[in-house]
Amino acid sequence: MAIERILKDDASEEKGERARMASFVGAIAITDLVKTTLGPKGMDKILQSTGRGQAVTVTNDGATILKSLHIDNPAAKVLIDISKVQDDEVGDGTTSVVVLAGELLREAEKLVAAKIHPMTIISGYRMAAECARNALLQRVVDNKENAEKFKLDLMKIAMTTLSSKILSQDKVHFAQLAVDAVMRLKGSTNLEAIQIIKKPGGSLKDSFLDEGFILDKKIGLGQPKRIENAKILVANTAMDTDKVKIYGARVRVDSMSKVAEIEGAEKEKMREKVQKIIAHGINCFVNRQLIYNFPEELFADAGILAIEHADFDGIERLALVTGGEIASTFDNPESVKLGHCKLIEEIMIGEDKLIHFSGVEMGQACTIVLRGASHHVLDEAERSLHDALCVLSQTVNDTRVVLGGGWPEMVMAKAVDELARQTPGKKSHAIEAFSRALVAIPTIIADNAGLDSADLVAQLRAEHHKEGCNAGIDVISGSVGDMAELGISESFKVKQAVLLSATEAAEMILRVDEIITCAPRKREDRM
C-alpha cells in the first residue's frame, strides 16, 4: 500500500543530503559571483534590467549587486539578506560578509562529507567566532581622546573604504569631503543632513562640499534673487486653483459674463490664500506642488521668493535643516513653525542654476555636489561616498580602529588556530576550518590583484608569528607590507559585524536538512 502524499502535486521536497547539497551549492555560487569585487583591485559588474529602457547599473558594491538579483535558491537568499543588513547597519563590508559566509560553508561541506555532524560544526564555529572577536579586541586602537589623531584615523578609514571603489583615483579628495561632512554631524548617525547632489559634467575631481543646503530649482521671474535673514515657509498645498478645473464638473451658464464671474471668484479665493500665506511674515515660500502664474505674480509683488515643485525629498530635507515644519493649512499663523536661514541666493553649477540656503538652523547640514562624466559614474560615486559616510558616522560613535589589508583576518586566524590545538574532539576540526575560511579573505584580495596568493599568504602567516606584527597585503606593490605605515585602517565595528553576521548566516544554512517548495497557485479558469 503506497503512503498517501501529504504535499500537493506540484510541491517538491529535498531531504537530508540533497537539501544540504542544494544549500551549499547556492550559497557558494553567490560567493563566487561577488568575490571578484573584493579589495582595491576588485572588478565591477554591469547589471542590466530587462524592464523598460533596460537600465544599466555599473557597480562593485556587494549589496547593490545582490539586491538586483532574482534568485530561487533559499540559501542564497539568506546571504543576500545579510549583505543588505550589513549595508543598512554599517554601510561597508557588504562583499566581505558574503564571501566569509560562503567560505565557512565551503569548509563545512568538506566536514559534513567527513561525517561530522552539523551541530558539532556549529558549536565549533561559535567558539571560533568568539575567540576571533576577542583576538581583534586586544589589538584595537582607540584615539578618541586625541582629536588630531582621531581625525587622521577617520581619513585613513575613508581612504581605505574608497580605495576599492570608483573614487580610488581621487581618494584623498573624497576622503577629505567625507570626513568634513561627518565631523559636522557632531556624532549623530543621521545622514539625512548630508545631501548629495549629482550634476553630470566636469570630472570627479570637481566635486565639492558646501555648507548649508542646495535646492535643485530655479528662482522664478521677477522675484528677488537674494534674500538675507530668510524666514521660510515650507508647504505642501495646491496653488493652482485660479482656473476652473474640477474634473468631470459641468457648469451651465447663460452668458460669457457668468464664466468671467466664476473665474473672478476663483481668483479671489486664490488671492485670499496668498494673503494668508503672506500674513505669516515670511520672505520665502517653498511649495511641493505647482504655483500658477497668478499667485506667483502676487508673491513677486510682495517681494517674496516663491519656489514651486520642490520634490518631496527636497522639502522634507529643507524643513529638517532649516528647522521648519511642512504646512498645508494657513489659517492660524502662530501654530506654523517657520524655517530660518541667513542667506538665500542663486548659484551656478556647471550649466544649471540652483538655490543655495546658507547659515541654516541645523548647523550640521551640508551638501556634497558630485560632478562626473555620466549618470552611471555619478550613481556609482554616490554609492561609494555613501558607504564611506556610513562607516565614518559609525566610527565617530564607536571609535575603535583596526588595521586593514587582510591584517585582521590573519590576527583572528592565528588566535583561532591556537584554540583548535587546545580543543579536544571533533570540534577542533570545525575550529580549524573556521581559521581556513578567515584566511580565504586575504587570499581572494591577492588573487583579485593578480598576485601569487599562496606565496603571499604563507609569507603573511610567517610574519604574524612575530609579536605585535602589522603585516598585511600591500596590493599596490604586490608584496607583504606594514599596514600601519601605509595608513590602511578599518573600523572595528565593520569587522565585528562581518564576523558575527557571516558566522550566524553560515550556521543557519548548516542547520537545514529539508527544503520544501510549495506548489504554485493555479489560476482558476473563469468561464
Q: Grid cell 548659484 — which residue?
A: 347
Q: Cell triple for residue 422?
A: 587546545
Could you give the CA distance from residue 285 to residue 302 in angstroms, rounded to a whole number?
A: 12
Q: Please tell me what DSSP assigns to residue 347.
A: E
Is 94 noted as a catalytic residue in this protein?
yes
* Closest alpha carbon to 435 in 423, 419, 447, 446: 419
Q: Cell triple for residue 59?
A: 557597480
Give the distance from CA 83 to its chain's centroid: 11
Residues 6+ apart with CB under 8 A from 108: 24, 118, 121, 430, 433, 506, 510
Is 88 noted as a catalytic residue in this protein?
no
Residues present in the chain in total: 527
Is 160 noted as a catalytic residue in this protein?
no
Indicate which residue of 57, 59, 64, 95 is catalytic: 95
Alpha helices in 139-188 (DSSP H): 147-162, 171-184
Could you give the CA distance from residue 29 to residue 73 in angstroms, rounded to a whole number?
A: 10
Indicate which residue of 57, 64, 94, 443 is catalytic: 94
Q: Please tell me what DSSP assigns to residue 483.
A: H
* Closest alpha carbon to 336 in 212, 232, 237, 241: 232
Is 254 noted as a catalytic residue in this protein?
no
Indicate which residue of 59, 61, 153, 443 is catalytic: 61
Indicate which residue of 92, 153, 379, 387 is catalytic: 387
Q: Cell triple for residue 346?
A: 542663486
Is residue 378 within 8 Å of residue 206, measured between CB atoms?
Answer: no
φ, ψ of residue 274 in degrees (nearest 5) = -65, -40
Q: Which residues are catalytic?
A: 61, 94-95, 387
